[in-house]
């Protein structure tokens, strides 16, 4: 059985990816995660005792550690999902995002390149390095059109800028040294086990508490929504079928405004948790985020994803997400105690 190394595998998307890989017993997985405020072992609790999974606590910028893992496990692929991801935090502390997302990716690429260049030709040919990026690197769209694979990077937040820098590094390491890198750009991802600093889990936690639910600005910002398990499946397919050097856009295909998805999730919560219903009465418009992108839309696809499309729709997934939040409220409450989670950040002096 081959091995894949997943960085950030105790995070939201990373853990979904690791769980999927082990559920199907496709590969052995080594998870490398620094276990910052955003990482949590509970997301991988179903893998306790699984001999096909190993969790290593450590930093992607620790080249000695990364090289030791590479030499020990000889992975067929490295899937790089370790990142700082919360836009509001990036506005308050841009330097930490550059360190984690850009400089951290640089160190990881260099460790992987050094190891990869020492492998036999067949192993070098089969190897893949995947960087999971975001649609936010492309900036903000007007009322029509989509981002495509040829769209220029135009980041509008420190988070997006740090991810754009990582994209360019991965592409440069392919062009300069031939390292077989893949870069995916995914749309807004939702689902269980997401940290309650993000919109939907924060909404659910505040609704369960009976607290006001913040909606930035007029709530008319448009996003494409994709379930975390669909996103994980797309990343696996990209590693298995993607062409190094060619970016891939992974879109959910379901566009709606932040206010629309909030209203629909409140209605779903009403059905599984009628105490306090209607929960939509708790929605409250608050000052918008500085530089808030108005609309994202992806012209999703590419050769690697030909014939694939997300299988989970919002209509069916939001009730399940609401039910999950009710059953896992203790986890949401525990995560909300971590520094900066669930409080308003990122006003940037422009309230």
Domains detected in the chain: 3-195+225-255+295-311 (3.40.50.720)
**Residue written as token pair 């991988």:** 44
Taking the C-alpha atoms of residue 118 and residue 120, their distance in angstroms, rounded to an integer, is 7
User: Residue 24: what pLDDT?
Assistant: 83
State yes or no: is 339 an active-site residue.
Answer: no
- Catalytic residue from among 59, 84, 136, 233: 136
User: Residue 351: what pLDDT?
Assistant: 39
* Cβ neighbour number for residue 214 with a 10 Å cutoff: 18
Mean pLDDT, residues 150-157 taken together: 94
pLDDT in tens, 312-326: 999 899 999 999 999
Q: What percent of the chain has pLDDT over 90?
A: 85
Residue 300 has pLDDT above 80, yes or no: no
User: Residue 302: what pLDDT?
Assistant: 73
- Written as six digits, the tokens of 135 are 């649609």
User: Residue 348: what pLDDT?
Assistant: 66
Taking the C-alpha atoms of residue 184 and residue 172, their distance in angstroms, rounded to an integer, is 15
State yes or no: is 296 an active-site residue.
Answer: no
Residue 166 has pLDDT above 50, yes or no: yes
State yes or no: is 197 an active-site residue.
Answer: no
User: Residue 320: what pLDDT?
Assistant: 98
In 3-state terms, what secondary structure has residue 161?
Answer: helix
Mean pLDDT, residues 1-5 taken together: 95
Which one of 51-60, 142-151, 289-298 scores highest in mean pLDDT? 51-60
pLDDT in tens, 90-137: 999 999 999 999 999 999 999 999 999 999 999 999 999 999 999 999
Mean pLDDT, residues 241-250 taken together: 92
Q: How confident is the model at residue 154 (pLDDT cuts 50, 70, 90)?
A: very high
- Catalytic residue from among 33, 84, 135, 233: 135
User: Residue 43: what pLDDT?
Assistant: 98
Q: How confident is the model at residue 247 (pLDDT cuts 50, 70, 90)?
A: confident
Average pLDDT of the residues of the chain = 94
User: Residue 349: what pLDDT?
Assistant: 54
**Residue written as token pair 């699984």:** 50
Reported pTM: 0.95
- Catalytic residue from among 159, 190, 216, 296: 159
Strands 188-190, 222-227: pairing kind: parallel
User: Residue 267: what pLDDT?
Assistant: 98
Q: What percent of the chain has pLDDT over 70?
A: 99
Distances (CA, A) of 16 to 214, 229, 251: 27, 6, 17
* Cβ neighbour number for residue 336 with a 10 Å cutoff: 18
User: Residue 350: what pLDDT?
Assistant: 47
């Amino acid at each position: 059985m081959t091995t894949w190394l997943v960085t950030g595998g105790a995070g939201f998307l990373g853990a979904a990816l690791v769980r999927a890989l082990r559920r199907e017993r496709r590969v052995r997985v080594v998870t490398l995660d620094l276990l910052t405020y955003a990482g949590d072992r509970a997301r991988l609790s179903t893998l306790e005792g699984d001999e096909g999974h190993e969790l290593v606590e450590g930093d992607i910028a620790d080249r000695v550690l990364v090289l030791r893992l590479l030499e020990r496990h000889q992975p067929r692929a490295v899937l790089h999902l370790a990142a700082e991801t919360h836009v509001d935090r990036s506005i308050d502390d841009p330097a930490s995002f550059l360190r984690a997302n850009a400089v951290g990716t640089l160190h990881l690429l260099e460790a992987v390149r050094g190891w990869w260049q020492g492998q036999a030709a067949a192993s070098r040919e089969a190897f893949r390095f995947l960087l999971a990026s975001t649609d936010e690197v492309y900036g903000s769209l007007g009322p029509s059109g989509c981002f495509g694979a040829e769209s220029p990077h135009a980041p509008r937040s420190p988070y997006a800028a740090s991810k754009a820098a990582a994209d360019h590094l991965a592409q440069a390491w392919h062009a300069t040294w031939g390292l077989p890198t893949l870069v995916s750009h995914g749309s807004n991802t939702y689902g269980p086990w997401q940290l309650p600093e993000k919109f939907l889990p924060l909404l659910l936690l505040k609704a369960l508490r009976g607290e006001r639910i913040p909606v930035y600005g007029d709530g008319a910002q448009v996003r494409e929504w994709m379930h975390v398990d669909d996103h994980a499946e797309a990343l696996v397919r990209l590693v298995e079928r993607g062409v190094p050097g060619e970016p891939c856009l992974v879109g959910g295909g379901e566009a709606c405004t932040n206010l629309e998805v909030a209203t629909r999730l409140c209605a779903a919560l009403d059905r599984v948790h009628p105490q306090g219903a209607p929960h939509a009465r708790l929605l409250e418009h608050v000052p918008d985020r500085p530089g808030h992108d108005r609309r994202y839309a992806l012209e999703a696809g590419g050769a690697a994803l030909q014939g694939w499309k997300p299988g989970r729709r919002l209509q069916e997934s939001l009730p399940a997400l609401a039910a999950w939040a009710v059953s896992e409220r203790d986890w949401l409450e525990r995560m909300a105690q971590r520094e900066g989670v669930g409080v308003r950040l990122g006003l940037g002096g422009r309230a």
